[in-house]
Every structure is written in structure tokens, then in C-alpha cells.
Amino acid sequence: MRNLASRVAVLAALAFCAQVFAADAHFVMISHAPDADPFWNVVKNGMRDASDDFGVSVDYRNPPNGDLADMKHLLEQAAARQYDGVVTSIPDVDVVQAPIKAIVARGIPVITFNSGTSEQSAAVGALLHVGQSEYEAGKGAGELAKAAGVKSFLCVNNNVTNPISFDRCRGFGDAIGADFKTSTLDSGNDPIEVENRVFAALHRKPDTQAVLALGPTSADPSLRAVEKLGLNGHIYFATFDMTPAVDKAISDGRAAFAIDQQPYLQGYIPVALLALMKRDNTHDVERALKELVADPAFQNRLKKYGLVPHFGPHGVATGPSFVTRTNLGVVEKYTGQYR
């Protein structure tokens, strides 16, 4: 009996130490996103929930205007601060690879997320990539449009400083047989400017059959431009990511679908994995993935918000999934917070 009590006491002490060890962990999440992009509010909600679930602290850093030179400086600062782990996007591998490699060289675990590819992630020394293949997402969207008879489109790109963003336009163009270069519009990020540029582009080419917006910053103003031109119901509209305005457009039939990359998971999973590796005192990300899949808090989050990650040999795919009128009700109430 005394031996059993001693063992229980030891296990309790170890559990307490593990919690303290995880709580001492201090991570940073660095993105390329400008402050104006509402998509990242959902990512940050995932980051904060993982921080709460696993008892760690996480700083969020981004260049306010989306300047990649500023992002590079943020990565350099992260290396100097000796965080316990770093989560970063790869908007342009040529710009960010040197500071990411410097972080890895210091023995700090890095997980990449959102922008970038699994191949780029491995090349810079990161342990894993969490996100979606932008080309495949664009191609999947294009295949849906092709089935509806679409042969021409306008790709509204509000993030041209991110080279990976063009893969969305390229995939869509390849699927419908259109040249994505001549179909892509640099819309900027100011809502009025986006609306005016889309209005002008569609006015110049009235035979354009579809509009593909690359995110909330471009989707809502593009919808207004389409409405002002009297093209509701006459032009095929699709967008990446969810907003209340996009939800309503899908519900009303003004938009065919939205491509959901489950940004909440992009914020949650990297932080959770770093926390588990820190707790276990290892950089074994495969072991951490197995522990995460079995974690009750994580499973509760997935069930509550209707989220479905795909764990593969080269990373965690959070998308694409397509939200249409048929499944809109499942995600609508969480749009802007968890979807």
C-alpha cells in the first residue's frame, strides 16, 4: 500500500512538473499578413485556444502593411530572442529562408504554416508544414467552375507581394483552360480601391464569365462591384475564405462557393505541436502528432467547430474544403471566429 502511495505521489509530481514545463514555454507566431486582413483573426483565435489548452504563451508578430522586408526583420528578432519554438509562414522563400535557417541553426524548432509548401518547409529546416496546397485549391475551384461552363475569369489578387498567392490563380486558370497571367488583377487592399478596380476590369471585359477573389479583403468589395454592374446571377463568383458577406452571397446564390482552408487549425495545430514537443523534451514531431490526435481538448475543438484536418506524411492539410449552399449551415455560425 505504501509502495502504491509512493508511486501515485511520484506520478502526480511528474504530471505537475510536465504542466510547469509546458507553461514555461514561450513561442512566437510570425505571419506575412497586413493588419487589415480579417482572415487572420480566425488564425489568432486558434493560436490563443491552443495556448490555453496546452498552458503555453505565444506572441503574434506581423508586418502591419504586409511588407516582407519587415517580416524578415521579425524573424531575425525571433532568432535573437531564443524563443522555445517558432511558427512562421513562407510567403516568399527567397526572402525568408535565411532567417528561418538561422533560427533552426540555434536549435529552435520551427513549424511553418499557411503560406508556403511542404517542400519549402523541409528546405528551410522546419519540422512540418500546416496549411493547404494553393495550386491544388485553385485547381479544385477551377474544376467546379469548368463544370458550370466557365472558360474565362478575373482573379482578384489582393496579396501580390506573396508569390504563392498566384498559384491560386494559376490552378484555376489551368482547370478552365485560361491564361492566369492575363486574367489576374492586382487589386490592392483598400476596399474602395478593390471595388473600383474590379468594376473597371469587368467593365472593360464584359464577356468575363467568372470572378475568383483570393480572400476576404478582395471578396467583399468584388461582390459590391458585381452588384453595381448588374451582374448578380450572370457571373460565376467564388472566393477563398469566409466572411459574413460571403456567407450571405452563397446563401442568396450570388456566390457559388467559398474555399475554406480552416484557418483556425492553422493557428491551433502548430502551437499545440510545439507545446507537446516542449513538454516531452524532444523535437519528434511525429510523436507529437500522435499525441495531438489523441488529445481530448483537440478532439473537442474539432467536433464543436466541425473541423477536419488531414494528417499526411509531408504535413497537415487544412484544406481545401468547399462551402456551398448545401453545407453552409454547418459553418455559418462560426464564420469570422472559428471558420
**DSSP conformation class of 240:** E
Residue ranges of the domains in the chain? 2-132+262-317, 134-260
Distances (CA, A) of 189 to 165, 199, 274, 275, 292: 14, 15, 33, 35, 36
**Tens-digit pLDDT string for the chain (339 aa):** 444 344 434 434 444 444 444 558 999 999 999 998 999 999 999 999 999 999 999 999 999 999 999 999 999 999 999 899 999 999 999 999 999 999 999 999 999 999 999 999 999 999 999 999 999 999 999 999 999 999 999 999 999 989 999 999 999 999 999 999 999 999 999 999 999 999 999 999 999 999 999 999 999 999 999 999 999 999 999 999 998 999 999 999 999 999 999 999 999 999 999 999 999 999 999 999 999 999 999 999 999 999 999 998 779 999 999 999 999 988 888 998 998
Distances (CA, A) of 211 to 10, 39, 198: 62, 19, 9
> Contact at 8 Å (CB) between 123 and 97?
yes
Give me the CATH code for the 134-260 domain, please. 3.40.50.2300
- The whole model's pTM is what? 0.86
Element (H, E) at 28: strand 26-30
Domains 2-132+262-317 and 134-260 in one fold:
yes
Write the DSSP assignment of 115-139 as a string of letters.
SS-HHHHHHTT-SEEEE--HHHHHH
Q: What b/e readout covers 2-21, taking b as 16+ CB neighbours within 10 angstroms?
A: eeeeeeeeeeeeeeeeeeee
Please name the fold of domain 2-132+262-317.
Rossmann fold (3.40.50)
d(CA 256, CA 240): 11
* Predicted pLDDT at 24: 82
d(CA 1, CA 53): 34
> Contact at 8 Å (CB) between 218 and 194?
yes
